[in-house]
Amino acid sequence: MREDTRRWIEKDKRHCWHPFTRQGEWCAEGHEPLVITGGDGVWLMDSEGRRYFDGNSSIWTNVHGHGRREIGEAVREQLERVSHVSFLGQTHPAAIELAGRLCGFFPRGTLDRVFFSDNGSTAVECALKMSLQYRQQTGEGERCGFVSFANGYHGDTLGAASLGGVGRFFDRFRGAGYPVRFVRDLLELRGLGREESGGVSAVVVEPLVQGVNGMRLWPAGMLAELRAWCDAEGVHLILDEVMTGFGRTGTMFACEREGVVPDFLCLAKGLTGGTLPLAATLTREGIYEAFLGGAERAFYYGHSYTAHPAGCAAALASLDLFEGGRLLERVVERAGQMAEGLVRIAGHGLVREVRQCGLIAGIELCGPGGEAFPPESRVGERFCFGARRHGLLTRPILDTVVLMPPLCVSGEELDFSLDAVWKTLEEGILEG
């Protein structure tokens, strides 16, 4: 190991605390975390000079590859002009332009307002608070709860976490957040009595695919039916497109696939092309108007870095890259190629099921007899560790391996990643 690497790892173990991480194992003697020091397109380089395919788009964020010159230049120019503007009391051109561009993706008179924040969790927090405050200000104060789906994920801040249906993450804090009724599916939602649905302010859902739930797909048509239920019951529809937004599923936004416009749309991860933290909550003018009037009607919410100019500049540059390169057409092409490649993988004896939506894939592993592994065997983690030797870097969700390349991936690069998955499977990494 190089001297630099050794020093960085040693210091990390002394001072850093990593998310979703068993720190005891992280800091153990034998654990050598990768120290990433460079990126170029779909590739990441570590401090030992090794190169890896970024198989989960740097935790589902990266769109145009690492080190994209156009985004870097836009950010540098913005920082040199003015590095921060408080959106509380002032405004600035990059945020103004970006808000207009985001609304421009939707028919006029639908989503015409943008509220900026910093990350996916805060984008959801804003939608929740806006929905509740709207109810209070329109004489519907009895609508003070939410409906969320089992196994859904909407972020880690307290409000967003209370909507999370992943027990292993959130059960510890149950009762501390919003009142939430969890349902498994539309059937259960429709079974709610009038009394119960009358107390619901909004339903929150990840459209098309539940990311943290091992990339599980909703049945086709689910979203449109959910929209219809919300309309019939007078309930807001909050779409959490933090993962699915910005081309990941093959259309700019997943909701387009079923012709649905939500009441709130939450965007983050890919908004800046996956370069800087920035989030946006879009909503309807009709909802916004309930916040006009006296001081008591204002939306008292914001962060120091709301609408950060560098983030907005990155987002504008990212949107330009979508338009310039016919990126979405290429995503659809690549997704077709991925589907073909996944057929062979799905046929492997150690794969239970493969799920795919656009350039998002979940490969669920199983034992040779099709049996699920006991959780303590941590097969998904071991698989991903083994895949590194074939130049693939990714993370599992339990025993589901995520393959979600940056959207700029070439055909050859995509084949490389599928091949790395195959080789790892062939090594029988799951045994022992």
Chain contacts with ligand PLP (rule: CB under 6 A): 60, 119-121, 124, 153-155, 206, 211, 240, 242-243, 268-269
Asked if residue 203 lies in contact with residue 238, where contact means CB atoms within 8 angstroms, the answer is yes
Question: Which of 59/192 has CB closer to ligand PLP?
Answer: 59
Pairing mode, strands 200-205 and 216-217: unpaired
CB of 423 to ligand PLP, least distance (A): 28
Q: How far is the CB of 160 from ligand PLP (least distance, A)?
A: 7
Give the residue closest to ligand PLP by C-beta. 120
CB of 77 to ligand PLP, least distance (A): 25
Q: Which is nearer to ligand PLP, 137 or 157 (CB)?
A: 157
Nearest approach, Cβ of 158 to ligand PLP (angstroms)?
12
Task: Strands of 66-220 (E only): list them.
Answer: 111-117, 145-149, 180-183, 200-205, 209-210, 216-217
Compare residues 278 and 327 and give the one whose CB is closer to ligand PLP.
278
Smallest gap from Cβ 81 to ligand PLP, in A, equals: 26
Backbone φ and ψ of 371, nearest 5°: -80, 150
Following CA atoms 426, 427, 428, 432 in sequence, which dihedral angle do they give, to the nearest 10 degrees?
180
Q: Which is nearer to ligand PLP, 160 or 287 (CB)?
A: 160
Nearer to ligand PLP, 271 or 351 (CB): 271
Which residues sit opposite 400 in a β-bridge? 364, 397
Tokens 């002394």 — which residue? 14
CA pair distance 316, 251, nearest whole angstrom: 18
- 419 vs 53: CA distance, rounded Å: 11
Burial (CB count within 10 angstroms: exposed 0-12, middle 13-18, buried 19+), residue 187: exposed
Residue closer to ligand PLP (CB basis): 182 or 291: 182
Distance CA 356, CA 372 (A): 20
Nearest distance in Å: CB 121, ligand PLP = 3
Tokens of 256: 């387009």
